[in-house]
């Protein structure tokens, strides 16, 4: 659709979602989630498209304060077509780009929150997902594991390096004892918690538990050390935070060719919006690096876009998607989880 012939109006509205219980992340304990919803209206037809701009303070590269962030949103609202047609202008604002792209795609498709069509949206093909275990004390983590196993998940992801590695290792050991690797895939996410010196020993211990992969074993920005750790092949390593802030296609290729990770994990709100995520996927596919897509605490609006985007690729690896069940209140959704799969109803 050629939007230049249409009179478009873009507005944004701030929303705050409250967590059902304080949630431990690599960026501390979160009790609430800030986000902004773009509404793009075609003033000739009256149709509107929506998109979510979602941030995580301390992790999102484009957020430093509400004032700074809403200043950028206001700038984009003053000329939405320009920014949509010149996406490089928002390269350093991936969450804003994701929201803008979502709103334009929604409007183009009639404003029904149908962003990407696939077997997933045709209700023929669910998306396999992992069950996420949130950080917390041992009892809370074990309680979550029970819940996920009872709900039929065959892939569980747990954070490590947050509380006490020995306690975390004990939880993982118990889990592996009761569920062998051919029944349960276990992924771990270190969020860069290990130092380059201690990482090999920690990875060796985790490898004894048939762990599928570890996300960001050491902090981002240590390219040579991460390359060496991947080359040692102790445990498959997935890059996540390492990909934040890499905008140019050639730099993406160079990073992957240098580090040679076993997997990459993509979050549209952090890794370049829809356009940037597509570029990362193309680079990874070219180099034979498997990938999966993860949401970054978006509300059900952002989750819907990410799920539909992911569904186009018909993934076989479990993805890091959910239905926003973390929050006290959320937007209505037609996504449902059953037996470790995400369904579009």
Write out the catalytic residue numbers: 159, 267
Q: Which long-range contacts link 252-257 to residues 24+ away (Cβ below 8 Å)?
A: 252/279, 252/280, 252/283, 253/283, 253/286, 253/287, 255/223, 256/283, 256/284, 256/287, 256/289, 257/287
CA distance 206 to 204: 5
Helix, strand, or coil (residue 322): coil
Pairing state between β 48-54 and 127-128: unpaired
In angstroms, the Cα distances linking 109 to 49, 276, 301 are 9, 21, 16
Report CA Rg, the chain.
20
CA distance 83 to 187: 38
CA distance 277 to 289: 14
Which candidate, 274, 306, 310, places its Cα nearest to that of 291?
Answer: 310
């Amino acid at each position: 659709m050629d939007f230049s012939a249409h009179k478009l109006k873009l507005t944004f509205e701030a929303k705050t979602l409250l967590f059902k219980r304080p949630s431990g992340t690599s960026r501390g304990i979160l009790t609430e989630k800030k986000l902004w919803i773009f509404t793009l209206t075609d003033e000739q037809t009256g149709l509107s498209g929506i998109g979510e701009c979602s941030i995580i303070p301390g992790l999102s590269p484009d957020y430093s304060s509400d004032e700074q962030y809403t200043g950028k949103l206001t700038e984009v609202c003053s000329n939405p077509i320009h920014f949509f047609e010149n996406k490089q202008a928002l390269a350093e604002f991936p969450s804003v780009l994701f929201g803008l792209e979502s709103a334009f795609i929604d409007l183009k498709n009639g404003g029904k929150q149908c962003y990407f069509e696939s077997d997933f949206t045709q209700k023929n093909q669910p998306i396999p997902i992992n069950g996420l275990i949130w950080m917390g004390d041992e009892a809370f983590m074990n309680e979550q594991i029970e819940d996920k196993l009872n709900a039929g998940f065959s892939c569980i992801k747990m954070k490590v390096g947050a509380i006490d590695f020995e306690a975390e290792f004990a939880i993982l050991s118990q889990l592996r004892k009761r569920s062998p690797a051919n029944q349960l895939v276990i992924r771990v996410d270190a969020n860069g918690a290990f130092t380059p010196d201690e990482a090999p020993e920690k990875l060796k211990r985790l490898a004894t538990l048939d762990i599928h992969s570890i996300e960001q074993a050491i902090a981002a920005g240590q390219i040579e050390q991460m390359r060496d750790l991947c080359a040692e092949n102790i445990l498959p390593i997935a890059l996540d935070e390492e990909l934040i802030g890499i905008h140019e296609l050639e730099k993406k290729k160079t990073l992957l060719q240098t580090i040679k990770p076993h997997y990459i994990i993509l979050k549209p709100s952090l890794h370049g919006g829809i356009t940037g995520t597509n570029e990362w996927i193309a680079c990874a596919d070219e180099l034979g690096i498997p990938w999966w897509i993860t949401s970054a605490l978006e509300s059900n609006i952002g989750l819907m876009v990410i799920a539909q985007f992911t569904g186009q690729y018909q993934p076989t690896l479990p993805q890091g998607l959910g239905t926003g069940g973390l929050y006290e209140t959320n937007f209505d959704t037609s996504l449902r989880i059953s037996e470790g799969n995400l369904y579009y109803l």
